[in-house]
Amino acid sequence: MGDIGQFLPMILIFVVAYFFMIRPQMKRQKDEKKFAAELKRGDRVVTKSGLHGKIMDLNDSDFSCILETMAGKLKFDRSSISMEMSKKLNAPEKK
């Protein structure tokens, strides 16, 4: 019993780290993959670098998309589209 008691604090640290750090990160990655897979033509999005645009075309072979911006059309990887910023852009405004 004494040997297990010595390792109990370490085990508790790993359990707390899993539930507060590792598990939420895994859930966020899963949500981002789902968001990227559900993108469709005409969606208004914001890239992680802050570029606003509308999706004109999606390419499944290289997992990219073409965004129409005020400057023209640009090709981006779907993983560069920000889920949080795009949801804020498309959220209805509060009055």
In angstroms, rounded to a whole number, what is the distance separating the alpha carbons of residues 28 and 77? 18
* Mean pLDDT rounded to a whole number for the chain: 88
In the chain, what are the domain boundaries? Answer: 1-38, 40-95
Q: Predicted confidence band at 95 (pLDDT cuts at 50, 70, 90)?
A: low
The pTM (predicted TM-score) of the whole model is: 0.69
Is residue 68 over pLDDT 90? yes
Interval 51-75 mean pLDDT: 92
Instruction: For the chain, give the percent of residues with pLDDT over 70.
Output: 95
Question: How wide is the angle at C-alpha 48 spanned by C-alphas 50 and 72, nearest 5°?
Answer: 55
Give the CATH number of domain 40-95.
2.30.30.140
